[in-house]
């Protein structure tokens, strides 16, 4: 059931030092390219990185929140072409979430690394750094990197009583069940 998958999915930042089987990588990519997109325009592109040296370089994309990538077996760089769709950010984010859910379904861990609108250093954006490293064409924008690997940490689902049900409103804002 989907709700079981949603309950199980957690952000994993520590990974076992072992590769992901090619058939699992294929399933991750299939999940990404099956993601819905506005008007079916599919503005996204994915760069699948398994080379440890390149992953280590990607882990340096920004000063905070990306270093754990160097321990992952796989990096899925999620990009899109803004000229193809005005809601490319949303389309790319949905595709990235599909990668997360597929990873969870295969007992892999994953974690989102925000790249869009983040800095690499004072002179360059994280997206420019990633674009140069991966030789991206200039029209592509980098939304995020999804780190994937076999988890080296176990995270329990969030307890139901900790979920923010107070953020749910019925019929009108302020009306709660």
Domain assignment present for residue 177? The answer is: no
Write the pLDDT tens digit of every residue in 102-155: 999 999 999 999 999 999 999 999 999 999 999 999 999 999 999 999 999 999
Domain assignment present for residue 75? The answer is: yes
Domain assignment present for residue 176? The answer is: no
Determine the pLDDT at residue 177: 79
CATH number of the domain where residue 68 is located:
3.40.109.10
Prediction pTM value? 0.96
Contact (Cβ atoms closer than 8 angstroms) between residue 170 and residue 94: no
Residue 81 banded pLDDT, cuts 50, 70, 90: very high
Determine the pLDDT at residue 71: 97
Domain assignment present for residue 130? The answer is: yes
Please, how many CA atoms are within 13 Å of residue 31, restricted to the half-sphere of its CB? Answer: 21
How many structural domains compose the chain? 1
Instruction: Tell me the residue range of the domain where 31 lies.
Output: 2-167
Over residues 84-96, the mean pLDDT reads: 98
Q: Is residue 14's pLDDT more than 90? A: yes
Q: Rg (Cα) of the chain, in Å, rounded?
A: 17
């Amino acid at each position: 059931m989907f709700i079981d998958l949603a309950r199980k999915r957690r952000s994993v930042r520590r990974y076992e030092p072992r590769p992901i089987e090619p058939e699992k990588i294929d399933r991750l990519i299939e999940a990404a390219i099956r993601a819905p997109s506005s008007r079916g325009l599919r503005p996204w592109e994915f760069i699948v990185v398994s080379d440890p040296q390149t992953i280590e370089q990607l882990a340096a994309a920004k000063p905070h929140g990306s270093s754990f990538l160097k321990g992952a077996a796989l990096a899925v760089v999620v990009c899109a072409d803004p000229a193809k769709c005005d809601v490319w950010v949303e389309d790319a984010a949905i595709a990235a979430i599909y990668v997360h859910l597929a990873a969870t379904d295969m007992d892999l861990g994953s974690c989102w690394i925000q790249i869009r609108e983040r800095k690499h250093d004072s002179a360059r954006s994280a997206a420019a750094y990633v674009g140069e490293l991966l030789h991206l064409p200039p029209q592509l924008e980098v939304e995020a990197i999804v780190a994937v690997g076999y988890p080296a940490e176990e995270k329990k689902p969030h307890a139901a009583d900790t979920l923010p049900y107070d953020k749910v409103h019925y019929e009108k804002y302020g009306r709660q069940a």
